[in-house]
């Protein structure tokens, strides 16, 4: 299809419809063509601009029953006064209501707005708030309840959120007539703009509430009971719906997000719901075996050190870890054994260790085969 100022193309071909097309089919075809060739979607494209003008001209004629009948009988000569060659001016739709009906979805796609017929609203959702709460390691494991104080915007008691002085009401914006938008004519089509007087709300407050100064909200301190469930981890977010700032002019409130920071523990390290710790023992305890007490989050527990325990061995205490979040059961406590080597010996201790060393054969060491035998295998 080609549309120029000097060549008149059949209007039905311009819109790519049959000559028996219904009004609904014409409107759908025009919306499709206008969306495709709209200048805002085709900047600096003269051909697209001409095509947009051509489809607008075609729809202006074919959407009018009288003009369409004349066009069907006499062609372009029958509607020369309405065509581009005979005075096609202004909007092709007669009034803004028709334009909004045609472009309701078109403007929504191109500019992110809704249908042109939607009514403006002053309501605005309140902001979400964040509160950072630092808790102890044990509080994260077992849960707790704690009160926090936040400052937030709340509904003004004097105007009940209207923003107007007591006994007064907002008035309809005289600039946009309460529509929240004003239309600007640009050549053969018009564009809706947000009303700068009312900022798109459709109303104006001429007598503002002296307490909130027309803002509909005031700042107050609010106390909230935070319930921390057992098993939470560092960085957990707890959402409290509607506990954020109040919305303006009757809009819904935002939410409050409590973000937890868990303090490190002096003895335990956490991995999911399991706990890890290190237990130092002496060489005789490792060699002979022993029973020792190890701390847990619920108090001391007894662990058995088997005879001949090596440094690095891990002993598991089942169910002595952190409770599973929102579920039954607990993780485990994993105790890593660390055999300590003495750094200072008394004379008697040294003599005893020397006697022990002489009495022990290398084959009886935990390595099984003698270390010298293994070295011979490697280098032979």
159 is in an annotated binding site: yes
Would you tell me how many other CB atoms lie within 10 Å of the CB of residue 286?
21
Compute the Cα dihedral for 285, 289, 295, 299 and give only its sign.
negative
Longest dimension (CA), the chain: 127
Interatomic CA distance for residues 88 and 91, integer angstroms: 9
Q: What is the DSSP letter of 164?
A: B
How far is CA 2 from each of CA 17, 144, 218, rounded to the nearest angstrom?
16, 74, 61
Contact (Cβ atoms closer than 8 angstroms) between residue 29 and residue 21: yes
Interatomic CA distance for residues 343 and 340, integer angstroms: 9
Interatomic CA distance for residues 252 and 243, integer angstroms: 10
Strand pairing report for 269-271 and 274-282: antiparallel
What residues does 276 pair with on adjacent strands? 269, 334
| Dihedral in degrees, nearest 10, Cα atoms 71, 76, 82, 87 | -170
The phi-psi region of residue 126 (left if phi > 0; otherwise alpha if psi is between -120 and 50; otherwise beta) is: beta
55 is in an annotated binding site: no
How far is CA 275 from each of CA 59, 93, 268, rounded to the nearest angstrom?
74, 73, 6
How far is CA 202 from each of CA 112, 169, 208, 263, 348, rounded to the nearest angstrom?
19, 13, 16, 51, 96
277 is in an annotated binding site: no
Q: Can you tell me whether residue 339 is helix, strand or coil?
A: strand
Interatomic CA distance for residues 200 and 118, integer angstroms: 12
Q: Which residues are annotated as a binding site for Zn(2+)?
A: 156, 159, 173, 176, 195, 198, 209, 212
Binding residues: 156, 159, 173, 176, 195, 198, 209, 212
């Amino acid at each position: 299809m080609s549309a120029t100022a000097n060549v008149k193309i059949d209007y039905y071909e311009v819109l790519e419809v049959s000559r028996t097309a219904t009004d609904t089919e014409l409107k759908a075809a025009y919306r499709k063509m206008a969306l495709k060739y709209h200048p805002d979607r085709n900047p600096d494209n003269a051909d697209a601009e001409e095509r947009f003008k051509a489809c607008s001209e075609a729809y202006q004629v074919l959407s009018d029953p009288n003009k369409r009948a004349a066009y069907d009988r006499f062609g372009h000569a029958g509607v020369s006064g309405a065509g581009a060659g005979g005075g096609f001016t202004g909007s092709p739709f007669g009034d803004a209501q028709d334009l909004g009906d045609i472009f309701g979805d078109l403007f929504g796609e191109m500019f992110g707005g809704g249908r042109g017929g939607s009514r403006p609203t002053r309501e605005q959702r309140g902001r979400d708030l964040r509160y950072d709460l630092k808790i102890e390691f044990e509080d994260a494991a077992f849960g707790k309840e704690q009160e926090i104080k936040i400052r937030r915007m709340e509904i003004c008691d004097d105007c009940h959120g209207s923003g107007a002085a007591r006994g007064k009401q907002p008035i309809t914006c005289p600039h946009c007539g309460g529509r929240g938008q004003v239309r600007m004519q640009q050549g053969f089509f018009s564009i809706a703009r947000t009303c700068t007087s009312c900022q798109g709300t459709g109303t104006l407050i001429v007598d503002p509430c002296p307490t909130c100064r027309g803002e509909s909200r005031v700042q107050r301190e609010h106390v909230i009971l935070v319930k921390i469930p057992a098993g939470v981890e560092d960085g957990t977010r707890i959402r409290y719906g509607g506990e954020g700032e109040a919305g303006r002019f009757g809009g819904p409130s935002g939410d409050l997000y409590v973000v937890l920071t868990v303090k490190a523990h002096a003895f335990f390290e956490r991995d999911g719901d399991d706990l890890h710790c290190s237990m130092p023992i002496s060489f005789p305890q490792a060699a002979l075996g022993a029973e020792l007490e190890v701390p847990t989050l619920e108090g001391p527990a007894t662990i058995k050190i088997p005879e001949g325990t090596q440094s690095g061995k891990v002993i598991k205490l089942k169910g002595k870890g952190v409770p599973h979040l929102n579920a039954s059961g607990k993780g485990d406590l994993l105790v890593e054994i660390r055999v300590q080597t003495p750094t200072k010996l008394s004379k008697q201790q040294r003599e005893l260790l020397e006697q022990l060393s002489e009495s022990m054969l290398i084959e009886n060491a935990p390595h099984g085969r003698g270390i010298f035998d293994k070295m011979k295998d490697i280098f032979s």
